[in-house]
Amino acid sequence: MGIKLQPKYCACGCGGFCKGKWIPGHDQRLRAAIENEVGGLVELRRIVEERLHRSIEFDQTDTRKHWYSN
């Protein structure tokens, strides 16, 4: 009856077991596969925003600072 971590199926669907949500590297593998399927991260963003009916918000402060500092 201990609180033991049960091995779980990897979230990517490969059928492998892992302690966390992913077998190390499989989250990146899935992300790359999704990006490849839809035609890139920009296209993926467009699809998700279409589905959400809103823009995906994220912190662009550092980027702006970087691009416009010189």
Point out which residues bind Zn ion (CB under 5 A): 10, 12, 14, 23, 26
**Which residues, including other chains, have CB under 8 Å from residue 30's CB and lie 6 or more apart?**
11, 12
Tokens of 18: 């892992």
Minimum distance from residue 32 beta carbon to Zn ion (Å) = 13
CA-atom Rg of the chain in angstroms: 18
Pick between residue 2 and residue 15 the one whose CB is nearest to Zn ion: 15
Tokens of 3: 């609180």
Pick between residue 17 and residue 42 the one whose CB is nearest to Zn ion: 17
Pick between residue 21 and residue 64 the one whose CB is nearest to Zn ion: 21
